[in-house]
Structure 1
Amino acid sequence: MSSILIVTDAWKPQINGVVRTLERLAVELRRMGIRVEFLTPQSFHSVPMPSYGEIRLSLTLPHIVRGFIEKYDCDHLHIATEGPLGLMARQVAKRDGRVFTTSYHTRFPEYLQARYPVPLSFSYSWLRRFHNSGQGCMVATGTLEADLRMRGFENLLRWSRGVDHQRFRPLRTALLDHLPGPRFLYVGRVAVEKNIEAFLQLALPGTKVVVGGGPQLEELRLAYPEVLFTGPVEGDELVEYYANADVFVFPSLTDTFGNVLLEAIACGTPVAAFPVMGPIDVIGNSGAGVLKNDLQAAALEALEISSDHCRDVALRFTWRASAEQFLANAEHAYDPAMPAGFRQGAGAGQRSVGNHLNG
C-alpha cells in the first residue's frame, strides 16, 4: 500500500483531538513512504454547524466527492468522520464497490443528548449503519471497543494514539508563579459535553485554570470569576501551562480517548479524572494519575505523584506506533488474514505490526 486518502469533516482551523490525530498520522505515514491526501471542508463552500460554529459543514454533492476520490487515485479510502463529506464518501464507495475503513472518534450520541432530547438508541442506530458498512471501524481504546461491540458495531480495529515527546515536555517557567498554588489545570473545548463545571465546582485549594475556547467560555467566565480562563492557547505557551500546573483535571465523561491526558503527563503533570472511558485506557493503573468518582479527592491525591513517573508513562505512547496500527488496519481491510494493529500504551507492552509495503 503506497497511498491513502483520508476524508474528514473535522479540519483546520479547528483545534481538537481529531484534527491533531489526523495531522500526526499523515506526518508519520509520509515518513514511512506513504502518500497521504486529505479531502476536507477547505475544498468546498461550507456553513457553520449549529451550536458548533468552529465545525464547518461542507456544501457539495456525491458526484463532486467522487471526482476528488478519482483525482487522488489512492490505494485506500479512510473516512474519518460522519459529517456531510463522510456520508457522501461512504455513499460513493458503496456504489463503486470500493474498500474503505472508518474511525469512531467522538461520542456524538452523548454530545447530542447533552443539548437536545434525542434518544441515544436513535443516534447509535444511525452510527452503527454508517460504520458497519465499511471493512473496518477503527477505535482508540479497549473500553470503547467493548461499548460499541455491545451496541452492535462490527469489524472493530484498534487504533491508539501517541504524543509528541519533543513538543510536550517538562518546561518549567514562571508562567503561573503569580497564581496561588497548587494550580489545577483543564485544557480542552469549553462546552457542556466536557462536564467542566464538575471541575469548577470543586472546593480545591490554590487556583483553577481553564485553557481553551468554546461555546460555554463567556458563560463560565461570568459564573466563576475566581477561575483563570485563558481562551485558546497553542505552541510553547500551551506546553508551559501543562508543565507548570500541579495537577491536570479531566472531568469529561464522554471522551473516547483524551489526547490531552497524554499531553499533560508528557509534560510531567499528573492527572485526576473519573474512572471512565479514556482515562481508564490512557492512565489506568499506570500510576500517572488518580481515577476516582470523587474528583476532588482524586485531584488532591494526584499532587503526590512524581513528575518523572508521569513522563515515563507518556513515553510508552508514540505516534509512529499509532501510524503503524492504522496502516496494519488498512491492509487488514483488504486481506483479513493479515494482522490488524495491536494495542500500545500504558499496560499494553505491545507495538503494532504492519507491512506498510511501498509500491
Structure 2
Amino acid sequence: MLQRLSDIEDNIWAQAATPIAIPERLLIVSDAWHPQVNGVVRSIENTNRELIRRGVEVSMITPDGFRNIPCPTYPEIRLSIASYRKVAAKIEAARPTYIHIATEGPLGLTARRWCIRNGMPFSTSYHTRFPEYVAARLPIPESWLYAFVKWFHNAGYGCMVATPSLADELKQRGIRNLLSWSRGIDSTLFRPYPLEDNPFGLPRPIFMTVGRVALEKNLPAFLDLDLPGSKVVVGDGPARAELQKLYPDVHFLGAKFGEELAHAYSQADVFVFPSKTDTFGNAILEALASGVPVAAYPVTGPADILHGNAKAGVVDTDLAKACVAALSCSREAARSVALNYSWEAATTQFIGNVRVANHRGRKQTHAVSL
C-alpha cells in the first residue's frame, strides 16, 4: 500500500509527522457532508473517528451549519450560502492548531481566503475530478477549471491524493506539494458471507455496481454490456429514474447501508466499476473485502489498487472482457488485497500530512519574516 509520494522530503516528514506535545486541534472544512453519501463523506467520517481515538480534537465546518441551496443539476449536493464573517467566526471559535480544506466549494474557498489573510498554513485534498464533473454539466472548458484547481490547491502547503497515478497526473498539471493519503476499509463489516443460490431472486452470475447513480459514474458502459446472468445496481442518485426506464432488465436495489449493504456486496460474483473519473473508488475496497473480484477500466483507482493483483480482479479497456475474465478470479485473493488497507494506516498518513503542511507553512513564514 502506498505510504507517501517520492517527492516528499523524508526528513521533513519524519519530523513533522511525529505527534507534538501540545493539544492538537484540527479543523476540517468540507462542502461535502450529510445527507450526501459518497467517498468524500465516508473518508472524512472514518478518519475523524481514528483521529479522535488518538486524542486529536476534531471540529468541522460543513453546509449543515449554514443556509444552503441545492446544486443545479445535482440537488443532493448542497451549496452553502455563508458570508465571510460567519465562516471566519466559526474558524476563530475553533482555535485550530491545523486547518484542512477538503473541498473546492463555497466553504472551502472562504476558508482558503481566511487562512491566507491570517497567515495560517493549511492542507487540502483532491477527492473529486471537479473539472470533468463540471464540464460534463456546464459549457466550461476543462482547461479553465484545472487552472482554478491549481490556483486553489497551490495556496496550501500540502495537497493530499489517494494514488500514485493521480499524483503523477496532477504534478503534470502544475499542482505542488503533493502528499499521499490512501484509504481504508472496515474489514469486519465488509466480509464474505455464505453464497446464496439465487440472491435477490436472480440467476447467477451476479454483476454488481455500487455507488451514486449519477452521470459521472459512466453507468451505461456497464448497463449496455451483453453479459450472462444478472446486472444489479445498488445506490441512488439523480440519474436513477432515467436509467431504470432505459434499462428495464437491470435490477436497481436502491441505497443500502451497514450490514444490508455488506450482505449485498458479498452476493455478487463480480463487482463492476465503470467510472473513469473517480480518484480512488472506496467501493472497490468494499467489494474486495467482501471477497468479490473487480472488473474495471485501467484508470486511476482500480489500476492502482489491483496493480500486481491479477487474481483479485481484471482491468481492461474492454469492460465486457474484464467482467467475464473476473469470473475466474479468486474470492480469497480479493479479500487478501483489501486487508492491506486500514483506516488506522490511512489516518496515520493523514495526520502526518497535516503536520507536514503546517511545518512547511510555519517554516516559510519564519523565513520570510527574517
The two structures share one fold, judged by TM-score above 0.5: yes
Structure 2 residue aligned with 1:343: none
Matched, 1:207 2:207: no
One-letter code aligned to 1:310: A
TM-superposition CA deviations, 1:119-157 (whole Å, max 9, x none): 110000011100000111111111111111101101111
SS of equivalent residue, structure 1 residue 184? strand
Tell me how far apart the structure 2 counterparts of residues 84 and 39 of structure 1 sit (CA, whole Å).
Answer: 11
Q: Please point out which of 21, 25, 28 is paired with 1:3.
A: 25
One-letter code aligned to 1:31: R
Tell me how far apart the structure 2 counterparts of residues 144 and 69 of structure 1 sit (CA, whole Å).
Answer: 30
Tell me how far apart the structure 1 counterparts of residues 294 and 57 of structure 2 sit (CA, whole Å).
Answer: 37
Structure 2 residue aligned with 1:235: 258
Q: How does 1:271-350 map to 2 (within 5 A)?
A: 271-287=294-310, 288-336=312-360
- Displacement of 1:114 in angstroms is 1.8
One-letter code aligned to 2:28: I
* Cα contact 2:33–2:62 (8 A) shared by 1: yes
- Displacement of 1:99 in angstroms is 0.9
Q: Please point out which of 95, 104, 111 is paired with 2:133.
A: 111
TM-superposition CA deviations, 1:171-194 (whole Å, max 9, x none): 236471520110000001111111
TM-superposition CA deviations, 1:275-295 (whole Å, max 9, x none): 011111112221311000111
SS of equivalent residue, structure 1 residue 28? helix
Tell me how far apart the structure 1 counterparts of residues 258 and 324 of structure 2 sit (CA, whole Å).
Answer: 28
- Displacement of 1:241 in angstroms is 1.2
Structure 2 residue aligned with 1:127: 149
Tell me how far apart the structure 1 counterparts of residues 313 and 304 of structure 2 sit (CA, whole Å).
Answer: 12
Q: Please point out which of 4, 21, 24 is paired with 2:46.
A: 24
- Displacement of 1:332 in angstroms is 0.9
In the alignment of these two chains, the number of paired residues is 337
One-letter code aligned to 2:338: A
Q: Please point out which of 197, 203, 207 is paired with 1:180.
A: 203
- Displacement of 1:31 in angstroms is 1.1
One-letter code aligned to 1:225: P
Structure 2 residue aligned with 1:54: 76
Tell me how far apart the structure 2 counterparts of residues 195 and 49 of structure 1 sit (CA, whole Å).
Answer: 20
- Displacement of 1:116 in angstroms is 2.4
Which sections of structure 2, spanning at least 5 residues, go unmatched? 1-19, 362-370
Tell me how far apart the structure 2 counterparts of residues 311 and 238 of structure 1 sit (CA, whole Å).
Answer: 17
TM-score (norm 1): 0.92
Structure 1 residue aligned with 2:3: none
Matched, 1:152 2:181: no
Taking only aligned residues, the RMSD between alpha carbons, in angstroms, comes to: 1.3
TM-score (norm 2): 0.89
Structure 2 residue aligned with 1:348: none
Structure 2 residue aligned with 1:356: none
* Cα contact 2:157–2:360 (8 A) shared by 1: no
Q: Which moved more, 1:318-327 or 1:172-181?
A: 172-181
SS of equivalent residue, structure 2 residue 134? helix
Tell me how far apart the structure 2 counterparts of residues 219 and 111 of structure 1 sit (CA, whole Å).
Answer: 19
One-letter code aligned to 1:184: F
Structure 1 residue aligned with 2:248: 225
Tell me how far apart the structure 2 counterparts of residues 141 and 86 of structure 1 sit (CA, whole Å).
Answer: 22
One-letter code aligned to 2:107: L
Structure 2 residue aligned with 1:260: 283
Structure 2 residue aligned with 1:68: 90
- Displacement of 1:308 in angstroms is 1.1
Structure 2 residue aligned with 1:139: 161
* Cα contact 1:160–1:322 (8 A) shared by 2: yes
Tell me how far apart the structure 1 counterparts of residues 286 and 358 of structure 2 sit (CA, whole Å).
Answer: 34
Which sections of structure 1, spanning at least 5 residues, go unmatched? 338-359
Q: Which has the higher contact order (CA 8 A, sep 6+)?
A: 2
Q: Which moved more, 1:110-119 or 1:274-283?
A: 110-119
* Cα contact 1:172–1:240 (8 A) shared by 2: no
* Cα contact 2:98–2:358 (8 A) shared by 1: no
Structure 2 residue aligned with 1:340: none
Matched, 1:247 2:278: no
* Cα contact 1:9–1:85 (8 A) shared by 2: yes
- Displacement of 1:23 in angstroms is 0.1
SS of equivalent residue, structure 1 residue 4? strand
